[in-house]
Amino acid sequence: MDSEPTGKGILLKAEPIAATFIDEVRNTTAKCAQPPRLVGILATSSAPSKSYADFTRKQCEELGIEFVLKKTGAALSGELAEGEGVEEAIIEANGDDAVDGIMVYYPIFGGQQDHYLQQIVSPFKDVEGLHFKFHYNLYHKYERLSLSPPPGMVKSIIPCTPLAIVKCLEYISVYNRLLPYGDRAYGRTVTVINRSEVVGRPLAALLANDGARVLSVDIDSIQVCISTSIYYPRHVVHPSTLTLQECLAISDVVISAVPNPAYKVKTEWLKDGCICINVAGDKNFEKDIREKASMYIPAVGKVTILMLLRNL
Amino acid sequence: MDSEPTGKGILLKAEPIAATFIDEVRNTTAKCAQPPRLVGILATSSAPSKSYADFTRKQCEELGIEFVLKKTGAALSGELAEGEGVEEAIIEANGDDAVDGIMVYYPIFGGQQDHYLQQIVSPFKDVEGLHFKFHYNLYHKYERLSLSPPPGMVKSIIPCTPLAIVKCLEYISVYNRLLPYGDRAYGRTVTVINRSEVVGRPLAALLANDGARVLSVDIDSIQVCISTSIYYPRHVVHPSTLTLQECLAISDVVISAVPNPAYKVKTEWLKDGCICINVAGDKNFEKDIREKASMYIPAVGKVTILMLLRNL
C-alpha cells in the first residue's frame, strides 16, 4: 500500500485561466490615448502584501498599464506604524485626476477598520469592487439590469475574487455554455465555505443568480442560496438543516476560503469526482484532495488580478 | 473584616444624565407640524433586542414621537429564519417619505453582514450614526467645520453610543466648561478599551478632538490618540509601547466596551479616584470597582437612546 496520494485528479493552475484574459486587457489598454494609471497603496511591512504589489507591477507592465506604488506607514519606514498615513494616501489618490484606479494591500488594521478604508476609496476608482454599493448591486442583481450606467453614475464593479472564481468555473465548463446566459450554472450544487462580504457572500450571490444551488457554510450556520426562476432573478436565501458533511456529499463544486491554516476540508467527505477550488492563502484542502476531486485549483490570485485590471 | 465591597465611589446611573436631554427633545418634537416617525426594525428572536425595542417605544411615546415597529424574520414568525427580510424592510423604510428615522436592532447576522446592513440604511434616515460617511466626517473633524450642510447634503450624525459617553463625561465635569468649546477634555488621560468602528474608534476620535490624550486599547495593540494643537484640529494616532496596566495607572477615565462577559478590568490596576464607565452589555469591571473609582457609570444605554431620538 502506498501512503502517498496518487494524485488522480487534475491539478489546474491559475495561469492558463488568467491567460484567456490577457489579450482582452492588453487590447483595451492599447486603445487608450494614454496608459491607464493604477495606484497601489502599501502601508504595512507584510511580506505577502509586498510580493502581491511586486506581482501587480509585473502584471501591469506586461499589459501596458502604468503602476505607481505609494508606500506609507511601516512600508515606507521602520519609524512609522503599520498603516500610518494610509487614509491620507487614499484620499490623495481619490482626488488626483491622473489616477484611474486604486488598489490597497490588505490586511492593514484588520476587521472593521479595514472595512472602513474600503468604503473610503472612491467607487469611481475602486478596481477591486470592495465598496458596499457594489455588493448591494450584486445582491440585488442590478449588474445585469443596466450594463451602461446613466451619466454621473459609476459602473458597478463585481468584487474581483468572486468574479475570478466564476471565470475559473466557466473555464472548466462547470458553467454550461449551452444554457442561456445568466442561467449557466443551473443544475450545479456548490458548497462555498466562507460567508464574508468580500468573498463568500458575493460569490454565493453570483452563483445563485446564475442558477446554481449554493450551500453557504459559515462558522455557525449553513444556508441555501437559490434563484427560484429566471422570471424572479434575484436569489433567495434560506436556512438549511444540512451539516457540512451532508453538503460536501452532494456538492459538484467545493470552494473554500477560510483564513486559517489549521482549517482543512476532509477529503473523505467529498463526492467522488467533485471540483475543488482553494481561495485561502493557506491550503484549506488536505494533501490527498486529488484522490477524490477530479479537478483541483489550488489558487485563483492570478485570475483575480486580471479581473481587477479589467476594471481600470 | 468585611469581604463585601464597601462601595466608596459614587454609583451613577444613566437616568439623571438622560433626563437632561428629555426636555430638549420634547420641545423640538412639539414644534413639528406632525410627530416625527421612527421605524424600528426587529428581525431576530433575541430577547435583549426585543426589550430594547420595547424601551424605544416607551421612550418615544413619552416624547411625542411616533414609533412603528416593523417585525420580520424570526421576530415575526418561528417559521422564518433569523434576519430574513431585514434588508427588504430597510429598503422599504428608506423609500417611504413618511419615515423620518430608521433604527435596526443589531446583532442580526453579526460581523461583516451587519456592517453591510448599516451601510444600506439611507444616511438621511440613519439616527444611530452607523453609516461610514459619518465616521469619515468624525475622524476628519468635519462635524465642527460645517454645522448646517449645503442643500442636498445630509447632516453628519455622530455615532450615538460614543456621543452618549461624551455627554456623560460632560455631565460629570470631566469636560471642563471653563475651557474653550472643542478643547474641554484638555489635560485628561482616558483609556478606551475597544477599537470597533461603532464604539471605540469614534469615541477615541471624539475625545482626542476635544483635547484629551486617549489610550486606545484593542486586543492586539495600544495606540495614543491626541490632537496636537487647536490649530491642527484633527487628532493623530501613534502606536504606544505602554501596557494596559501602565495605561490604567495613569488614566483619569477608563471606558470599557468589550463584548465578552469574561472580560474584566482589574480594579487593582486602576488609579485611585478615577472615573469608570461600562458600555458592554455584561459588566467589564470587577465588583469592587468602587473601592478605587470615585465614580462608576454601569451603563449608558438610556443616554444613547436620547442621542438617537435627537437625530430624528
Q: What is the pLDDT of residues B217-270, one digit of tens each?
A: 998 899 998 876 554 456 778 888 899 999 999 999 999 999 999 999 999 999
Q: Please say if A160 is a catalytic residue.
A: yes
Closest partner CB to A113 (pick from B113, B120, B197): B197
Per the CB < 8 Å rule, is B113 touching A139?
no
Q: Chain A contact for B114, CB < 8 A?
A: no
Residue extent(s) of CATH 3.40.50.10860 domains in chain B: 33-127
Torsion of CA B285, B288, B289, B292, to 10 degrees: -150
Higher confidence at residue A254 or residue B79?
A254
Q: Chain A contact for B88, CB < 8 A?
A: no
Closest partner CB to A197 (pick from B81, B113, B135): B113
**B161-303 topology per CATH:** Rossmann fold (3.40.50)
Mean pLDDT of B283-289: 95
Q: Buried (b) or exposed (e) across B130-140, using 16+ Cβ within 10 A?
A: bbbbbbbbbbb
| % residues pLDDT > 90 (chain B) | 67
Residue extent(s) of CATH 3.40.50.720 domains in chain A: 161-303
Is a pLDDT exceeding 70 seen at residue B147? no
List CB contacts (< 8 A) between B132 and chain A: 115-116, 119-120, 132
Q: Chain A contact for B31, CB < 8 A?
A: no
Best interface-test mutation with B: which of A82, A87, A94, A116 has the largest number of B CBs within 10 A? Answer: A116
**A33-127 topology per CATH:** Rossmann fold (3.40.50)
Least reliable range by pLDDT among A126-140, B31-45, B59-73, B156-170: A126-140
Q: Coil, helix or strand for A255? A: strand
The residues of chain A scoring below 70 in pLDDT are 1-7, 141-154, 228-234
Is a pLDDT exceeding 50 seen at residue B3? no
ω into residue B107 within 30 of 0, thus cis? Answer: yes
Higher confidence at residue B291 or residue B183?
B291
Q: How far is the C-alpha of B103 from the C-alpha of B309, rounded, in Å?
A: 10
Q: Which one, of A287, A281, A289, lies nearest residue A259 by Cα? A: A281
Per the CB < 8 Å rule, is A132 touching B120?
yes
Chain A from 162 to 221: CB within 8 A of any B CB? 195-198, 201
pLDDT computed for residue A57 by the predictor: 96
Per the CB < 8 Å rule, is A120 touching B136?
yes
Is a pLDDT exceeding 80 seen at residue B154? no
Q: State the smallest CA–CA distance between residue A223 and chain B in angstroms.
A: 10
